[in-house]
């Protein structure tokens, strides 16, 4: 779909937003809803304006949607990464 190709061109400094774009076909609204996270909250997380504090259910849903099996595969932060703290 055309919207998918548009989203693939998006660049984000947020590790979770990058994973959403790379691993799902969902837009931000769909992804947040499927994870049980209010859209505005998700947008604050990826903008680095708020620290992510997920419930266990939200964390499980987020991992399921992103295809993450091991907790070690989760990014260290949900917000914007600074150059010195990026881990790959």
How far is it, in rounded angstroms, from Cα 54 to Cα 35? Answer: 10
Which domains are seen in the chain, by residue range?
A: 2-69 (1.10.260.40)
Question: Can you point out the beta strands (E) in the chain?
Answer: none
Per-residue pLDDT tens for 35-86?
999 999 999 999 999 999 999 999 999 999 999 999 888 888 877 765 544 4
pTM: 0.76
For residue 5, report the phi and psi dihedrals to the nearest 5 degrees: -65, -35
How far is it, in rounded angstroms, from Cα 21 to Cα 57? Answer: 22
CB within 8 Å of 15: residues ≥ 6 apart:
75, 76, 77, 78, 81
Residue in the block written with tokens 């964390």: 59
């Amino acid at each position: 779909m055309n919207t998918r190709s548009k989203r693939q061109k998006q660049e984000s400094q947020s590790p979770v937003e990058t994973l959403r774009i790379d691993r799902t076909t969902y837009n931000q609204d769909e992804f947040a809803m499927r994870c049980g996270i209010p859209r505005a909250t998700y947008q604050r997380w990826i903008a680095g304006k708020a620290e992510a504090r997920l419930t266990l259910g939200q964390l499980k849903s987020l991992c399921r949607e992103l295809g993450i099996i091991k907790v070690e595969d989760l990014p260290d932060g949900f917000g914007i990464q600074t150059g010195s703290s990026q881990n790959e």
